[in-house]
Structure 1
């Protein structure tokens, strides 16, 4: 039997029906109802996450080219410093990690953004010129290295847009286990590292988040 859902109540009903199944597959929305199964079985406590409070320097890295992220970029850049990454210049070495970190550190406290989020036509042109895998690998390395330099320089609130970009960033930062905090937007929670100098993260896939996600995420990371 294949079932579908048109409302959250449907997802809860699907999860309840699948409580005894060893394997469940489907869209990520099914997870909405799965937690209740584990609470009933005594496997998790079901406590609400505490408020994460990490105030200090912040930055936003956007490597997604999805429609939602491009809209978020356009909205954010109207009121905050933003640097568009020339991907061709990155590929030939004209733009480096130092260029990105210098811009972000120079605009501390102003919710600065650097992004490589181009239109579908722009993305196709760059991929055709340099190769799809090479472009992706180079940009992932650029964002990952930039994130590492930012954290070393004292940035402790970081928002990352793009699934592959987020993966590259968290691998580079190597922060260990992350505590899951409050939800920023559906499917995107606050994440908090341990240690004496915790780093608060918001990691989102391309099409996740409301239009004002970047500003909202930084506020949530600060506990506001």
Structure 2
């Protein structure tokens, strides 16, 4: 059967997000972390997701990582390449989605692709090229205060035009409503008119199914997990593999939350009424970190094995985030928090923790990197876009949650 889809995800939770939609639609999937650490593995799969940490890197680093991932996917014969980014787009005028898309197109000797972050099941829809979050334009949602990629525009056509090399057209919802052939014709017309990208409107899963079938033969597709799942649905049954889900472990668990999204703030607030919690003292971490890890681990030991599991969080609202950034620097404070969670995760897993629930893409990347996990088996979803994954050595199960994903009681659901 061979590898039908090769996915380049710009962060770790983005990788698990699209992997869960592929698995749910019958596509046997392996997820790997980073392109540089891959050794030969069983290719009896239909999709391989390469999870990078390139969403908020400098543009040149994001491009280099993505091209390295592309080379890996080309060597294993992936029939279609999918550049996966967040359903909230998470890309300012400085990049990285536009530059990475351009680099992938050039490397594949292609000159046209689509832009489709829509994920209606999680409230992300696109209408007339404008991205909405639960009915609110992106730039009016909580994403306007994102500490790393503040979204001050919701028009995907403008966002691409300002950060990419070509011009952007639109396939409006009225065309999508007319079906696969109409979308195919619209894409051909936009390409013939000299556009390099086409933003795709989508208000519901039926629209995504139409779009998935229409772009199934494009060498390069870009978008969110909704379009990835739709492409998986369009594949013939005889090229899909048999899925074998695993049962999550039942041993000691911990929740590590680094995301400062609106939803994660709500999830932390909810969980504080249900289980033990510890707020990370970021000022202490930045000014006098000696001995702080040991203090946190000592606190965890008091609650080890408790049900519900202990929560350790650096999640905070926009005012506190702004204070920390102004005091210590945005990159410096984020880096210190990520490294802290990585160290804590290693110590806890070494000490017997079997389930690690992580909130935030950057935090998830730090945790998996610190644990040295490069390959995952993808299991059943906890919430749309958030599956359980298991390291292929069977050592630990992880739930890697994008900041804005899940309902308010996600931390309880995961357990």
Counterpart among 278, 296, 313 of residue 115 in structure 1: 313
- Structure 1 gap ranges (5+): 219-224
Where in structure 2 are the equivalents of 1:11-90 lying within 5 Å? 11-40=208-237, 42=239, 44-45=240-241, 47-90=242-285
CA distance in 2, matches of 1:89, 1:34: 47
TM-score by length of 2: 0.50
CA distance in 2, matches of 1:49, 1:82: 35
Q: Which deviates the most, 81-90 or 32-41? A: 32-41
Q: How many residue pairs are counted as aligned between the two chains?
A: 215
Q: How far off its partner does 1:87 sit?
A: 1.0
Give 1:96's aligned residue. Answer: 292
Structure 1 or 2, whichever has the larger Rg, is 2
CA distance in 2, matches of 1:177, 1:50: 16
Give 1:156's aligned residue. Answer: 354
CA distance in 1, matches of 2:312, 2:381: 24
Taking a change above 3 Å as real, the CA distance of residues 129 and 19 of structure 1, as seen in their structure-2 partners, is same
* Residue 141 (str. 1) matches residue 141 (str. 2): no
CA distance in 2, matches of 1:21, 1:206: 30
Give 1:221's aligned residue. Answer: none
- RMSD (CA atoms): 1.6
Taking a change above 3 Å as real, the CA distance of residues 49 and 34 of structure 1, as seen in their structure-2 partners, is farther
Counterpart among 350, 364, 389 of residue 191 in structure 1: 389
* Residue 175 (str. 1) matches residue 370 (str. 2): no
Contact kept? 1:49, 1:182, Cα under 8 Å: no
- Structure 2 gap ranges (5+): 1-170, 172-198
Give 1:211's aligned residue. Answer: 408
CA distance in 2, matches of 1:121, 1:143: 22
TM-score by length of 1: 0.90
CA distance in 1, matches of 2:262, 2:219: 36
CA distance in 2, matches of 1:208, 1:24: 23
Q: How far off its partner does 1:199 sit?
A: 0.5
Contact kept? 1:54, 1:198, Cα under 8 Å: no
Task: Report the structure, 1 or 2, having the larger strand content.
Answer: 2
CA distance in 2, matches of 1:153, 1:172: 15
